[in-house]
Amino acid sequence: MWQSRTEEQEKEIFALKEVSEKNDRLVVQLERDLANAVQDLGRTGELSTSIETTPIQNSDTSLLPILSSQRHRLHERVTNLEQTVSCEKAKNLSLESEIEKVRAENIKMVERIRFLQSTDQKSYNVEVGYLNEFGNSKKMTAHDKVTLNIGKTILASPRSRSVFFSYLLILHVLIMLVLYNFAFNQSVMRDAETECEYKFHQHMLDKHGH
């Protein structure tokens, strides 16, 4: 479960990085467009100023509304680009924060997995070490060696320990059922004997009057 969660977080980090890089490229492009728009706006302003300072002729009067409208559109474009750049930068900051958050969670999860694995390994080493010390402390008989080997096999893995525990549990349940059945049968037999004695006693009283 922990391994699956770690892989999912790594995929999420990779996806967030791709989105962040894409947004970075978009911000760069928007900043270029903004710079070009500012330059165009400056050129349009200079052209409009030069036209306003030049004596207006008959045909030139029609250019003033066009240039003013173009300057207004460029100004709106610059404003929109500035807002878009600001919005994309905010998104990038949010994505970077999310990436750091996911990375921190991933690191914590990996550390927890390593801690659990090291704890299981230490517990197993202590148990096996105790058995080894017991085996080396004295010369064992064949019966002791068999018992030691069985103990090592049981403690070799969590799966074998679970199987052994399940076996003991089932064995105890069976023993309890056998004992209960034996006690029940003994009780039935005692009741039957008591009833037979009572009937025999009644029969003797009926036949012999005492």
Specify the DSSP class assigned to residue 169. Answer: H
Mark whether 164 and 64 lie in a shared domain: no
Mark whether 8 and 80 lie in a shared domain: yes
> Is 207 inside a domain boundary?
yes
Residue 27, Cβ neighbours under 10 Å: how many?
Answer: 18
Mark whether 28 and 95 lie in a shared domain: yes
Mark whether 41 and 110 lie in a shared domain: yes
Record the pTM. 0.31
Rg value, the chain, Cα: 46
* Average pLDDT along the chain, 210 residues, taken 10 residues at a time: 55 65 71 72 54 46 57 68 76 81 81 75 62 58 76 78 86 91 86 81 72
- Interatomic CA distance for residues 57 and 74, integer angstroms: 26
Domain containing 193 equals: 157-210
